A and B are shown apart, each in its own frame.
Chain A
Amino acid sequence: MQGALTPPILSGPSQSAVSNQGLMPTASQASNIAPQPSKTFSSSGPLAAKTKPTPVRRMRRIIAEDPEWSLAIVPLLTELCIQHIVKNFQKNPILKQLLPEHQKKVLSHLSPDLPLAVTANLIEDENYWRRCCTQRWPVCHVAKHGGSWKHMFFERHLENLLKHFIPGTTDPSVILDLLPLCANYVRRIRVDQFLPPVQLPASLQTRELSDSGSEVESEEPTMDHYQLGDLVAGLKHLEELDLVYGVKDCGMNFEWNLFLFTYRDCHSLAATIKACHTLKIFRLTRSKVDDEKARILIRSLLNHPGLEELDLSHNLIGDRGARAAAKLLSHSHLRVLNLANNQVRGPGAQSLAHALAHNTNLVSLNLRLNCLEDEGGQALAHALQTNKCLTTLNLGGNELSEPTATLLAQVLAINTTLTSLNLSCNHIGLDGGKQLLEGMSENKTLLEFDLRLSDISQESEYLIGQALHANREAARQRALNPGYLMSPIIANVPGNSVE
């Protein structure tokens, strides 16, 4: 390293000395600064050391007369070394051997475009990865990636690759090569599009023209998406998997088969999530998951050691899928279950209610935009009478009416764990509203109760609102008193606003 560095440095002063020799032939002074470089040079070789001293002196004399010259121009050897290291980092990455301050300097000068193969496992410095991130993406929410820029970089990088992976045309090694580099840093994969394999461009055009043709094509097994199995198996710390089998921004190129979640996809995904024991959150939304596929997926998740949240919202799951989910409830540690915007009806809700009645893990259940109707609503209300764990329940847009409301009112009077209840967009009616108000008057724990657009009288809605406010204040006092903290003005209020 030193050998490589010294020649350019040597040439600098000697040239200047030569050029100055003619002007100032006499040299008298010997300064403190002059010997220093000569000493450093001496390490390069005895010849150089012998020739050095006199030119250095002369040079120094000239410098004194040159008003523009300053020592600052001559960078320190360390500085030069660092520059060199930075320049050649790709070929010869030296970082760990340096002193901490030099490491810092090197890192601050490294280009973010360096190949990941070099940087991934070598550089831990957050600032470097921050530069990498901000260079690639204008908006960065580092908080969503566990507060680590490096994690964020690798997660987003991987997501990017997955989003633009086209099976059949893109080389799968692109992703698998990255695997050893990012395995330690990826905790979350959030992919909102999977591209289908591309047919010949000609056929694509023809398909665009004829809708029927595309439908026929969709039956073919070639429509499978990227198989996540290998990737997920390599990620040791993966905790969250958020997938959407669909295409974004297709615009006028819309085709049905762009949004196809095939059985092969489903089976491979099921095997993948089964093998991934670190997984905590699994989301598969907007992917046309029907009963069969849901059952395949959920069967693979039975007795999963770590799973806490399952989100299958905006799919086509019916009663059988709901029954499978109910089974999952009793065979896992699931805390959050989201089946919003599916096709769950009464029987499905009944099976869910049956599982819920004795469950002690589930905290949040979302059944928004389903067709539970009174049959399912009543079953759920019965389940809530025995359940001691659920805190959040969303039953918005489920065609519920008065009978459910009466039962729920009874539940409200008994239950002490439920904090948030959503019954918006139902046909509860005036009597149901009154009954709910009665139940609410005895409840002290519910903090949120959404009854918008549910045909109840304004009066009861207002009174329920009052009761809720009282509950909120009480909750706030409870939260404050143990710690004796002076009131932070926005205690729980912003949290309540969601949904």
Chain B
Amino acid sequence: MNPSGSMGVLEQTEEERLSTPNLEPSVYSDNPQERIQARRLRIAARLEARRREALGEYIDGKKESEEDQSKSYKQKEESRLKLSKLLLCGTELVTNIQVAADIREIHRRVEEEEIKRQRIEKLENEVKNSQDKFDEITTKWEEGKQKHIPQDLWEILNTQQLHCAGLIEDKNKLINELQQELKVKDDQYVKDLKKQSDDICLLLERMEEQVKDIMKSFRQELSHIEKAFELERQELLTSNKKKWERALQNHNSKELEYLINRIKKVEDYEKQLNKQRIWDCEEYNMIKIKLEQDVQILEQQLQQMKATYQLNQEKLEYNFQVLKKRDEESTVIKSQQKRKINRLHDVLNNLRSKYAKQVKQFQEENHSLTSEYKRLVLQFKELQRAMRHFAIIDDEKFREIWLMNEEEAKGLIDRAFDVDRIIHIQHLGLPWTAPDFWFLKNVGPISQQQQKTATQIVEEVLKQADEEGLEEGASESSYLDLPKQISAKTTRKILMLLCDESGFLIESKLLSLLLPLEKNECYLLRLDAIFSALGIESEDDLYKLVKFFLEYRAHHLSASQISPWTQANLERSSLMEKSLMSEWDLEQEQEAESLLEGEEESSVGGEQEEEEAPPSPKLIHPNEVLKVLEAFVMGLRKPRNFRAPVRMTKSKRDNSKDSEYWKALATVIPSSTQNLWDALYTALEKYHLVLTQRAKLLTENNSLEQQNSELQLLLQQYLHSKINSELQIPPTHVFRVPTK
């Protein structure tokens, strides 16, 4: 395809070839061989074309089986085949020149060889001939040397010269011949050159023609292919257009439908929109009004705020001014104060010296006063002892008086009840029941009704515990006044624990006495001793102790906190302790006495049992019992201080109860009965009046009778006078008399 390249090659090959005289290498002309070749080629091309057509069809058929071949593909294939054939033929045509040159060259070589051989033969012959002649001449020279006659010699020389000339002539002839040949060859060479240039011209011509042809055919084929493609495209276009139109129609109809639907929808939406708009408008207006109102309110508020702000500002300004002034004042005052401080320092110094004096003075005074105080305390103790003594006496007196009065009152009450009963039964005819009042049964002063002592309770507890021990699961409700949260068991356990741990509080004498006692009693006594040592007297104290134990358990972990508290308590109470020691001692003594009494009472017998009450780890650790006790005692001491005055108040309260009691006694006959009695009295008085009147009348009537029977009556009256003295005015007698 590359014309330049092939041209170059051909040029080269043609150029260097030593061309031989030969026929014209043109396809269309003179050279028959060439013409034959050309014709052959043409036929071959035609056949080829036919064959190719068949082949193309075959290929086409094959292709068609693969895919439904289009016209364009067919055209393309066709064109390709045509063009390849054209190219092949063209190149063959072009290279024909080379081939022709080759064969000419071969022919030339053959001829040349032949000519060369002939020439060599000829030359060899010539050489032989000339050699013979030369030999002849040389032999003649020998003959000539033998000649002595000049004429002979001259003759021989002449003949020799002739021979030589002949030889030279031969040689020259040969040379001429060869030169002739050379000249012919030169001419031939020139011709060949010309021929070669002609060949090259032809070659160029053919190549150009070939290029042109190929270009033309390529263009043609291209146009064919383009046409085929165009046609196909047209077909495709028309078919696609049809499809497109159909689709468009469909589309249009659908579009129309959609449009109608859409219009409907739009209308609907418009309506909805209108509604919505109206609604929105209303809402908007409402909101607007509301917001405007809000705005107004806010503005008002703003104004108010502004006003207040201004006010505040003014106030603040005023305050600021005031503060400034005050500041000024304060500076003045400060200076004054400083001066004052200076002055006061002086004063202070004075005072200090004074104070020192005073201290001395007061110490002295204090000494004197303490001594006096001690004296007074002694006096006070004595006084107290006296007072207690008197109090006991007073109590006894009080009791006696109480009993006396009570007896009197009760006698009166009995009389009143009798009267009431008589009135009821005799006058009113009603059944009478004797009223049952508590105070009626009461004997002695109410204030004497004392709280149970701690020992009593312990006893109870122990008893109950025993019972419980007998019958397991017995109800605890029977357990009287103990706080609900504390069960008898726990109490008991605590008490046992206490008993076991605080044995040191019991005197050794007592312990030895306790040995033969029963278990429970032993405990009781021990506890009693312990309580007395601890100062637990009443029921409350006991409960407090139990509670304290429980609480302590609750604060088990914070025991360390309790200890400092107790210490503080200790310190605090150390002062009071001193003062109260005496009283304390007294009480203890008393309790000890009572204990001794109890001891004597309870030393009836019993055997001591080994105590193996398992200290419940849940409750409290035995080691800590002492700590608890210590804390408790410290805590208990405080309220103990006020014990004496409390008692005093209690006796006073008894008085109020007493008055009630007495009042109750006085009003044993209720007012209703009194009223009844009053009414009855008036009625009876009236009745009495009537009766008296009647009696007068009767007396008048019966004066005689009376007088008659006066002596009799008087006797009788004297008989009955003792009873009359007992019952002052027994009405029955009155009634009986007339009946008699």
Contact = CB atoms under 8 A, between A and B. Distances in A.
Nearest to B2: A494
Contact of B47 (A314, A452, A462): A462
Interface string B1-14: 11010100100000
Contacts of A462: 43-44, 47-48
A369 B14 CA distance: 13
Contacts of B221: 489
B103 A397 contact: yes
B80 interface: yes
A465 B6 contact: no
Contact of A473 (B4, B17, B59, B96): B59
A150 to B, nearest CB: 22
B588 interface: no
B38 to A, nearest CB: 12
Nearest to A477: B59
A7 B401 CA distance: 153
B83 interface: yes
Contact of B102 (A286, A397, A461): A397
Interface stretch (B87-95, B350-358, B443-451, B592-600): B87-95
A498 B2 CA distance: 10
Given A314-B16, A452-B96, A458 B76 contact: no
B84 interface: yes
Contacts of B48: 462, 465-466, 469
B40 interface: yes
A341 B6 CA distance: 19
Contacts of B6: 497-498
A392 to B, nearest CB: 15
A494 B52 CA distance: 17
Contacts of A396: 99, 102
| Residue with the highest number of chain A CB atoms closer than 10 Å, among B33, B44, B95, B106 | B106
A351 interface: no
Contacts of B137: none
Contact of B40 (A341, A458, A499): A458
A48 to B, nearest CB: 62
Interface residues of A, number: 32
Contacts of A499: 95, 98
Contacts of B76: 487, 489
A15 interface: no
Nearest to B107: A425
Interface string A83-105: 00000000000000000000000
B464 interface: no
B27 to A, nearest CB: 13
A493 B99 contact: no
A397 B77 CA distance: 37
Contact of B37 (A368, A452, A491): A452
Interface in B219-269: 221
B338 interface: no
B253 to A, nearest CB: 42
Contact of B103 (A141, A453, A487, A490): A453
B87 A453 contact: no
A134 interface: no
Interface string A460-475: 0110011001100100
B103 A425 contact: yes
Interface string B268-293: 00000000000000000000000000
B91 A497 contact: yes
A469 B96 contact: no
Nearest to A340: B13
B91 A452 contact: no
Q: Is the interface of A mostly helix, strand, loop or mixed?
A: loop
Contacts of A424: 99, 102-103
A267 to B, nearest CB: 25
A458 B102 contact: no
A291 interface: no
A368 B105 CA distance: 12
A492 to B, nearest CB: 9
B10 to A, nearest CB: 10
A155 interface: no
Nearest to B51: A466
Contacts of B43: 458, 462
Contact of B87 (A314, A461, A493): A493
A121 to B, nearest CB: 32
A156 B77 CA distance: 44
Contacts of A452: 37, 92, 96, 99
Interface string A285-298: 01000000000000
B366 to A, nearest CB: 108
Given A473-B59, A489-B80, A497-B6, A425 B99 contact: yes
Interface residues of B, number: 40
A369 B44 contact: no
A399 interface: yes
A496 interface: yes
Given A286-B16, A314-B16, A469-B48, A425 B88 contact: no
Given A369-B105, A469-B55, A453 B88 contact: no
Nearest to A427: B106
B339 to A, nearest CB: 79
B40 A490 contact: no
Contacts of A494: 1-2, 87
B55 to A, nearest CB: 6
| Residue with the highest number of chain B CB atoms closer than 10 Å, among A458, A462, A491, A493 | A493
Given A286-B16, A461-B40, A498-B6, A369 B102 contact: yes
A251 to B, nearest CB: 11
B709 to A, nearest CB: 175
Contacts of B79: 489
Contacts of B77: 487
B84 A425 contact: no
Interface string B493-523: 0000000000000000000000000000000
A420 to B, nearest CB: 13
B72 to A, nearest CB: 11
A305 B258 CA distance: 83
Nearest to B95: A499
Interface in A319-362: 341
A397 B88 contact: no
A493 B84 contact: yes
B106 A397 contact: yes
A457 to B, nearest CB: 10
Contacts of A498: 6, 9, 91
A30 B462 CA distance: 126
B636 interface: no
B44 A461 contact: yes
Given A397-B106, A489-B76, A498-B6, A453 B90 contact: no
Contacts of B2: 494
Given A473-B55, A489-B79, A490-B80, A368 B95 contact: no
B550 interface: no
A490 B2 CA distance: 13
A286 B37 CA distance: 31
B325 to A, nearest CB: 67
B105 A490 contact: no
Interface in B15-59: 16-17, 33, 37, 40, 43-44, 47-48, 51-52, 55, 59
30 contacts: A341-B17, A369-B102, A369-B106, A397-B102, A397-B105, A424-B102, A425-B99, A450-B99, A453-B33, A453-B99, A461-B44, A462-B44, A465-B47, A466-B51, A469-B48, A469-B55, A470-B55, A473-B55, A487-B76, A489-B80, A489-B84, A489-B221, A494-B1, A494-B2, A496-B91, A497-B6, A497-B91, A497-B95, A498-B6, A499-B95
- A-B pairs, 8 with minimum CB distance: A497-B91, A494-B1, A489-B80, A493-B84, A425-B103, A397-B102, A425-B102, A493-B87
Given A487-B77, A490-B83, 20 more contacts: A141-B4, A286-B16, A314-B16, A368-B102, A369-B106, A424-B99, A424-B102, A425-B99, A453-B37, A458-B44, A461-B44, A462-B44, A466-B47, A489-B80, A490-B87, A491-B80, A493-B84, A497-B6, A497-B91, A498-B9
